[in-house]
Structures are given as structure tokens and as C-alpha cells.
Amino acid sequence: MSTAESWKWCSAVDEAIGGRPPISPPALVASCGPDLAVATSSSVRPEPRRVPKRPKDLEDLIREMEVERERKAAEREERRWREMEKKDRRERERQAREERRARESEDRWCRETSDKEEKSEGDKRKG
């Protein structure tokens, strides 16, 4: 089943529009022991996220999506032309087969007629 999250551009659009997660974690407070340890969000460095390179802004994202759309359209057009060429080639091959069969049939008819004439002439000579 297809969902919004499975869309190639989902996370990039979400980030560009502003649905980003918070960068710093909430404050941490240790509540046990004689020495109370307190950590605030400024003293805790979050682990850097490994995010694939994304467009800097929404315009870049839209431009990239448009390029992708054009690439796919070009691929579809190329496939369409290949299919048309394949059909044309098949038709030419079919016509060539039909012409070859017609020539072979005509050659066979000529040989058979010639054989009949030779046999007929041979029978006339004998008889």
C-alpha cells in the first residue's frame, strides 16, 4: 500500500515546509544521589543526524521535482519510440516472409510446370 511517507519527496517537502523535529533534546535532570546532576539542552550536544542532501529551499525542491518529472516523461517517450520501431521492424519482417513465400511458391510452380512439360514431351517422343 502506498502512503505519503513512501513518496520520494515526503521528507524533503516536510522539512522545507517546516515540520522539522526539534534540534536540541529536552533538559535532563538526575533525581537520585547526593550530587544532583543537571543537564540543560545547551550543555547536551545532540548526535548529528545523517540526513541525505536535500534542497536548500522549497524552490529548489520544486525545481528538482520538475527535473525528475521531465526525465520520466523523456523515458516514457523513448520507450514509446522503441515500441513503434519494434512494431515497424516486425511488419517489415512479416512482409519479407510473405514475399519470400510467394517467390518460393512461384518457383515451385515453374519447376512443376517445367517438369510436366518435359515429361509430356518425353511421352510424346516415346509414343
Give pLDDT, residue 108: 93
pLDDT digits (tens, 9 = 90+) for 111-126: 999 888 888 887 777 7
Residue 36 lies in a domain: no
pLDDT digits (tens, 9 = 90+) for 63-99: 999 999 999 999 999 999 999 999 999 999 999 999 9
Residue 38 three-state SS:
strand
Strand ranges (E), 30-72? 38-39
The pLDDT confidence band at residue 30, using thresholds 50, 70 and 90, is low
Buried (b) or exposed (e) across 20-45, using 16+ Cβ within 10 A? eeeeeeeeeeeeeeeeeeeeeeeeee
Boundaries of domain holding 120: 7-19+53-126
Q: Do the Cβ atoms of 39 and 26 come closer than 8 Å? A: no
Size of the chain, expressed as the number of residues it contains:
127
Judge whether residue 101 has pLDDT over 80: yes
Give pLDDT, residue 18: 65
Residue 117 lies in a domain: yes
Residue 66 lies in a domain: yes
Residue 47 lies in a domain: no
Residue 27 lies in a domain: no
Residue 43 three-state SS:
coil
Cell of 20: 522539522
Rounded to whole angstroms, how far apart are CA atoms 122 and 127? 9
Cell of 22: 526539534
Average pLDDT, stretch 34-54?
A: 58
